[in-house]
Structure 1
Amino acid sequence: MRAALPLLLAALFVPLHALAQQTADTVAPEAATATGTLVLSDRAQAALDARNAGDPVVAQDWMVVAANPLAVEAGADVLAAGGTAADAMVAVQAVLGLVEPQSSGLGGGAFLVWFDAETGALTTLDGRETAPLAVTPTLFQNDSGEPLGFWDAVVGGLSVGTPGTPRLMEEAHRRWGQANWGDLLDPAITLAEDGFNVSPRLAGAIANDADRLGTFPATAAYFLPDGAPLSEGALLQNVAYAETLREMQRRGADAIYHGPIAEGIVATVRDAEGNPGLLSLRDLAVYEVIERPAVCAVYRGMDVCGMGPPSSGALTVGQILGIVDNFALDDPTNADEWRLIGDASRLAFADRGRYMADSDYVPMPTEGLVDPSYLEERAQLIEGDRLDPGMALPEVAPGNPAWDHAQLWGDDQSLEFPSTSHISIVDSYGNVLSMTTTIENGFGSRLMAPGGFLLNNELTDFSFRTHSDGLPIANRVEPGKRPRSSMSPTIVMQDGAPIMAIGSPGGSRIIGYVATTLIAHYDWGLDIQDAIALPHAVNRFGTYDLEEGTEAEALAPELEAMGYEVNIRGLNSGLHAIAITPDGLMGGADPRREGIALGQ
């Protein structure tokens, strides 16, 4: 299949007409960055060479895939020593927070999907950030009741929610880990104290965001020493981060939520010059990780399972796949198949915008949204009795899924940006972990806590408006509420056993990245590395985004003839996946970022 891939890609994509493309489109996604100057071990270099050659990494016993080779190696060492996937995740996340601080860390949140080999159970842990208890629904509105500009809301304390990642790390380890907690933090401590070489990706991100990183003295001192952005290859130490992790070795996650580090977080947020926030010590003290049932949708006889509300990921991925499940997809060179995928996505995003939010605060038709009969009805809108068959749907609207109660909501107007990271792990015991972790926008709120880590800007994932057309918006800001997310950590199940772990960063485009990669693998027969590397075509709100600089651009004329508006732009995913096959594990890492797969 690989030999035919360049020809296949040259005829592969489809666009759409814009209704109200989100303001998020005006902000460039994280740019792709070369990995040529990364300093790697022999095994990491071999994995990177395989990825760049388009070959999946093959293993029999265990595997870990993540966004930075240093983090992957930390996880691989844990797995090789007999640790579980939960143990390895702790090590990986601790290193990612140091070497990839623009995307995730102790100041952010995460969603985790877990398959337990011993019990056969599938579950999820919600480590999403929460809104401070002092917020009101008009948090992101000015005195006239109009929404703030995005950057006016992001940079500073106003956007900071209660971090969830430290508690999630601890909770996953408590449930499923078996290695010593403190030992799992040692690799990150060593790197923080001895220093690590700034990667090309981190150096580029700092240079691109230097003005905002210079807003606050502590952040500027770390990323812009002597007033200039850190350069690629520079040795960077973070003694404060090492001290934070040592405190976590002694006290667990309580080190972040109670005591001096917690006090430093709150002071940083509330004293942020020009844009103070509302986070309090009470918010940190009462934070809890929540176990939630996985949300699953049927696709080609498989169960595609992931994180339910407050994430929209599993529901919207499930809706897209459930709609196209009504059609045969067997030819990725056929633009009409991309029309089916694109319109299925538009329909799913229409439902997402109206119904999806934190279900602890608002009622949701969760089961109805992925009911096969409802998705068949939605599919009929694409290929039913139409006057213009073969053309893009002229417009889409939310559907009417089955409810177990009555409720009316207005359409959401929130934004979501693409700085996130994904980890996929399979251990030697057969446990499977899929976790997406984030601080939201690149470098989050740009506030550096005294503990050596950045604080999130997750509150800007809420709708800035409270009502639409006189109806309340489900994803409005409320005290203690978790903002809606698009993070889509996914485990695919067949006959009660896991067959894939996958996920990606990318803001609301995460959903399309994951859905189309699954289609590429299961319908079009691409191996997991080729499926991940496939040029992107993503449709959410009307316009069909095509990945610039790739063969995807060639389909623009054909898609425009179908009635779509096309936008050729950077689409920088970070897909990391492990396919679990009868012949062993096959891992793939996104060539658009610096990640690799390692296994044994």
Structure 2
Amino acid sequence: MSPARASLTLSGLLLVPLYSFGFSYEAPSVTPEVGSGYEEKPGWATESFAVAAANPLATDAGYQVLKAGGNAVDAAIAVQMVLTLVEPQSSGIGGGAFLLHYDGADVQAYDGRETAPAGATGELFMEDGEPLTFMEAVASGLSVGVPGTVRMLEQAHREHGKLDWSELFVPAITLAEEGFEISQRLHTSLASDQALASDPLAGKFYFDAEGEPLAVGETLKNPALAEVLRRIASQGSQAFYEGELADDIASRVQGHATRPGSMTVDDISGYQAVEREPICTPWQQWDVCGFPPPSSGHITVMQILGILDQQPLLEAPLDNGVSSSGWLHQFLEASRLAFADRGRYIADPDFVDAPGGDWTSMLAPAYLARRSELIGDASMGDNAQPGNPGELDVTWASQPDQPEYGTSHISIIDAEGNAVAMTTSIEQAFGSRIMADGGTGLPGGYMLNNELTDFSFTPEIDGVPVANRVEPGKRPRSSMSPTLVFDQDTGELIASLGSPGGAAIIHYTARTLVAMRDWGMSAQEALNLPHAITTGGDVYLEEGRFPEAIKEALEAYGHTVSERELTSGLQAIRVLEDGTLFGGADPRREGVVMGE
């Protein structure tokens, strides 16, 4: 057993034969560590391959797939299916995902983002001329987009998969049938949710007769999900997008008790995953590759980093890992400027043209140099304005600020050097609070997303349309930032990383890249650093992680500062100079890294 594998204690193993390839799945009896607060993690060194995911059972599924001769795409599919079961608050087959893949030569971007149904309009979240409150919109049929994860993963597997599609579902099916232990993080998520218990399926499945959430350590079986996954395993994505499973999704959405949605079986059967051209941006000695729109992640991350590169060089973090107040001021001001551009320009590229006809205009060094000049010794506060990165045919209104949540991240590097960075989401915790059981009538199921709340609730401002407004068939703007990093001179892979966290994904990813490149930190050290974020208004520091002197210094710059829990879920795998790997998992969640 390798040191990385030995980080999990396996007992009571179940041997379940798979269909081919001489591969058998062993279901480990694992209780994830506490998922709230901050739990130190050591980082994991491996020789040839590594999997980093948000839950040990999911990581283990990917590990076993790689051990059986599968590749990075195969492992990502197995990981995602297990996450649907064990981390239902964050991602699953009822949501969407962005997957970056590297095959040793090329980077591909697979877009499995949800789409708005044909019946959706710009007024979707408006009532009596006013936008709904966020939670009114979330916990409803209005918020559900057509799920894209399954069809996107099938496309990636068709082009790159090595093991049979059906084999990759066995870990999740086995765990769903045999049961898994409720983790602290899942219990905490259930206990803190005010809407989930009202769903007729989820309320019976995740809560007891007294309405109390299932306890930590309780074994939970999900026979409905097992049956749904069995159908997808044997019939492919068609089983999900047509027939009984699609009928069930449409009926759940249309049948919501208070705010039904318009999604039809035609909306579901018509869903198509899209392969997009990734954006690879030079950043000193590195090339950083990320997802293009409808994700705002890569562009906004690289705007922040490009603006920072134009600022005076400041000292690295102090001995306790806390960044200097001067660097934090620069980082926060760069974030304000980048988010101002994000709110004005970025949306689904099938509906909105890029400034100057090219999204990379927003990353042009000359443009970022002009933006950097706006940073002074006093904070801009909420007065940061979007720039003009190119000739514009249409002027958009800036989207008003609104919440973003949820998500999970998977990073994998296999023994052949293939890599995946995949960020996957149902948006808010437990998505729309609508559970679907595929029409099986069995206990359990999976959660449907609320991704349409990533659109602007307000379709226009003073008669000027918002780029990210709701339109039929449109994909909502995302902050997901799956990232692959390469050496600019040699083209060799350096890292795979990403995070959940709503809009703060952008800050988490950007700061991790700075820590690894500029501050010489390992993947784990970079993930351990305390967080500081702003999307243009107040500044939030990670609660209990910064000395009072830092807060006072930022306030002296003019920032309005408060503390809150900033629960990222970063995963990162770094390729070291000798070709070995070192992976990190966020100490704020229950993820681990495994490999050999």
Global fold match (TM > 0.5): yes
Distance 1:444 1:481 in 2: 19
Q: Does the 8 Å contact 2:31/2:183 carry over to 1?
A: no
Equivalent position amino acid for 2:416 in 1: Y
SS in 2 for 1:158: coil
2:547, 2:202 → 1: CA distance? 38
Instruction: Note the C-alpha offset of 1:164.
Output: 0.5
Counterpart in the other structure of 1:501: 496
For structure 1, the 5+ residue unaligned runs are 1-37, 383-388
User: Whole-Å Cα distance in 1 between the matches of residues 501 and 29 of structure 2?
Assistant: 24
5 Å-filtered alignment, 1:125-136, equals: 125-136=110-121
TM-score, scaled to structure 2: 0.90
Q: What is the correspondence of 1:280-291 to structure 2 with a 5 Å cutoff?
A: 280-291=264-275
AA partner of residue 118 (structure 2) = L
CA–CA distance in structure 1, aligned partners of residues 354 and 206 of structure 2: 42
Q: Name the counterpart of 1:17.
A: none
Question: Is contact 2:40-2:587 (8 Å) kept?
Answer: no
Alignment partner of 1:529: what SS?
A: helix
Counterpart in 2 of 1:203? 187
- Where in structure 2 are the equivalents of 1:147-166 lying within 5 Å? 147-166=131-150
The structural deviation recorded for 1:497 is 2.3
Matched, 1:124 2:109: yes
Amino acid at match of 2:448: L
Contact kept, 8 Å, 1:545 with 1:567, in 2: the verdict is: yes
Residue in structure 2 matching 1:401, options 389, 400, 414: 389
Opposite residue 228 of structure 2, the aligned amino acid is T
Per the alignment, residue 206 of structure 2 pairs with 223
Q: Contact 1:300 / 1:325 at 8 angstroms: preserved in 2? A: no
Q: Does 1:255 align with 2:243?
A: no
Q: Which residue of 1 aligns with 2:520?
A: 525
Shift of 1:558: 0.9
TM-score normalised by L of structure 1: 0.89
Identity over aligned residues, as a percent? Answer: 48
* Structure 2 residue corresponding to 1:272, chosen from 249, 253, 256: 256
Deviations 1:526-552 (A, max 9, x none): 211011010111122132210002235
| Alignment check: 8 A CA contact 2:30 2:181 kept | no
Q: CA deviation at 1:295?
A: 1.6
Say which SS state the counterpart of residue 393 (structure 2) adopts. coil
SS at match of 2:130: coil
Report what 2:421 is aligned to: 434
Which residue of structure 2 aligns with residue 315 of structure 1? 299
Distance in 2 separating the partners of 1:157 and 1:234: 30
The one-letter amino acid paired with 1:91 is A
The one-letter code sitting in structure 1 at the alignment partner of 2:317 is: P
**Corresponding position: 1:575 with 2:570:** yes
> In the alignment, which residue of structure 2 is the partner of 1:472?
465
Following TM superposition, by how much is the alpha carbon of 1:514 offset from its aligned partner in structure 2, in angstroms?
Answer: 0.4
Hey, what does 1:357 align to over in structure 2? 347
The CA deviation at 1:235 is 0.6
Distance 2:494 2:145 in 1: 35
Change in Cα spacing, 1:447 to 1:47, as seen in structure 2 (3 Å) is: closer
Letter paired with 2:63: A
Matched, 1:445 2:432: yes
Deviations 1:477-521 (A, max 9, x none): 000000000011111122322211110000000000100111112
Distance (Å, rounded) in 2 between the aligned partners of 1:178 and 1:277: 39
Q: Which residue of 1 aligns with 2:588?
A: 592
Q: Which residue of 2 aligns with 1:212?
A: 195
Tell me the SS of whatever aligns to 2:293: coil
SS of alignment partner, residue 558 of structure 1: helix
AA at the equivalent of 1:335? S
Map Cα deviations across residues 153-174 of structure 1 (whole Å, 9 max, x no partner): 1112111000001112211111
The match for 1:18 is none
Give 2:274's aligned amino acid: I
* 2:121 partner amino acid: T
Does structure 1 conserve the Cα–Cα contact (< 8 Å) formed by 2:111 and 2:276? Answer: yes
Dislocated runs of 4+, deviation >4 Å: 42-49, 51-54
Contact 1:296 1:318 in 2 (8 A): no
CA distance in 2, matches of 1:351, 1:528: 29
Instruction: Tell me, in whole angstroms, the C-alpha distance in 2 between the residues paired with 1:343 and 1:39.
Output: 42
**Cα contact 1:350–1:396 (8 A) shared by 2:** yes
Listed as ranges, the gaps of 5+ residues in structure 2 are 1-6, 12-27, 319-323, 439-444
The alpha-carbon distance between structure 1 residues 437 and 503, as it changes in their structure 2 partners (threshold 3 A), is same
Query: C-alpha displacement at 1:565, in angstroms?
Result: 0.6
Report the 3-state secondary structure (helix = DSSP H, G, I; strand = E; otherwise coil) of the residue aligned with 1:296.
strand
Question: For this pair of structures, how many residues does the alignment match?
Answer: 551
Q: How well do the aligned residues superpose, as a CA RMSD in angstroms?
A: 1.9
2:346 partner letter: M
| Whole-angstrom CA distance in 1 between matches of 2:83 and 2:366 | 42
Whichever structure has more helix as a proportion of its residues is: 1
Contact 2:228 2:437 survives alignment (8 Å):
no
Which gives a bigger RCO, structure 1 or 2 (Cα 8 Å, sep 6+)?
1
- Could you tell me which amino acid in structure 2 is paired with residue 151 of structure 1? M
Are 1:167 and 2:151 an aligned pair?
A: yes
CA gap 1:553/1:201 in 2 versus in 1, 3 angstroms: farther
Task: Give the aligned partner of residue 10 of structure 2.
Answer: 41
When residues 44 and 599 of structure 1 are mapped into structure 2, their CA distance, relative to the original with a 3 A threshold, is farther
Tell me the residue number matched to 1:542: 537
SS of the residue 2:540 aligns to: strand
